[in-house]
Structure 1
């Protein structure tokens, strides 16, 4: 048991925002669930991470009730849940202590957002000496407005702006940035063995 699955910010906060309907991965709950079940079957720890901003009166304020796993995901009693206040899952949490205590050297990372909390965690983990597998198709993100765009665009306004960074570009850029530097890129099928099963016959 030297590998841990880190599930980052797959929480209701994101689904409450209008832009969620533009998500890159409407199927993220099923994809993450497959990784969770695979880890459990292998006896690998699953560590759940949520993001909270207490007192902010935003979707990440625990007082509003959205800082919880998206429906369909289930934490077991023996699986830790840690809450972060930074983009990466290490800086404001005891994640590294948990991993060290369990003798973990390999991390599999999935969650929301691909280029933000997931990528930032992968980069820091690599710098800390962990071997990182980044499962892009078990992450999700939404289009990113141009730096000069007005604040609080509606989804329609966001998509109408030709400067908006589309989800396909975000996913590709994250993979280019991580692969060979900070992480190995894998798919859910590759990790769970579904590719081999499909190829039989």
Structure 2
């Protein structure tokens, strides 16, 4: 039985309806996430689709937008819905993973510094070994105190606060190489 699971967090159509949506970083994200999903499946890792449902349009189930972005075609081993920023505390996912004796979580999806990072921190606190695949995450520029923060800066900050504390930081090839070595 697999000891690893890939968490595909919030890669959902809801985001297309947010004012900050941008396709600037979408092509490399799509390529990285698709390669990660295919590689994880080939190596026996479980695939977990996680969707954010906060009850408000466009993140409400009844909006019809809490569905995968169209480029995703994989078959998930389980689909869960979360109502908070992390995927583990109230979605039933933690129990599902424990039942399957999953010890290692691979994090990918939307948004790098929000739901992906928060899930990595909680997963670490719950005792999982965590691999954060930054190139298979997507985020959008933000502004704080009049200063624009680029996606590259957000991703760098996330890596900085996670590395050696909450998660190993890997690119897709590094993550897949580790899964192969673990077999």
Q: Which residue of 2 aligns with 1:35?
A: 36
Asked whether the 8 Å contact 1:22–1:142 carries over to 2, the reply is no
Greater C-alpha radius of gyration: 1
Measured in 1, the distance between the counterparts of 2:15 and 2:51 equals: 11
Q: Which residue of 2 aligns with 1:197?
A: none
Offset at 1:23?
5.0
Offset at 1:36?
1.2
Asked whether the 8 Å contact 1:3–1:44 carries over to 2, the reply is yes
Q: Which residue of 1 aligns with 2:45?
A: 44
Alignment RMSD? 1.6
Q: 2:91 aligns with which of 66, 76, 93?
A: 93
Asked whether the 8 Å contact 2:54–2:84 carries over to 1, the reply is no
Structure with higher strand content: 2
Q: Is residue 2:117 matched to residue 1:133? A: no
Measured in 2, the distance between the counterparts of 1:185 and 1:169 equals: 16
- Structure 1 length-normalised TM: 0.82
Q: Could you list the runs of 5+ residues in structure 1 that have no partner in the other structure?
A: 149-160, 194-201
Q: 2:169 aligns with which of 185, 195, 198?
A: 185
Q: Residue by residue, what CA displacement relative to the aligned partner does 1:57-112 show, whole Å, maximum 9, x if unpaired?
A: x2112222111000021242x61000000000012211111111111101110000
Asked whether the 8 Å contact 1:8–1:110 carries over to 2, the reply is yes
Q: Could you list the runs of 5+ residues in structure 2 that have no partner in the other structure?
A: 178-183
Measured in 1, the distance between the counterparts of 2:157 and 2:78 equals: 31
The size of the alignment, in residue pairs, is 176
Q: Which residue of 2 aligns with 1:152?
A: none
- Structure 2 length-normalised TM: 0.90
Q: Which residue of 2 aligns with 1:117?
A: 115
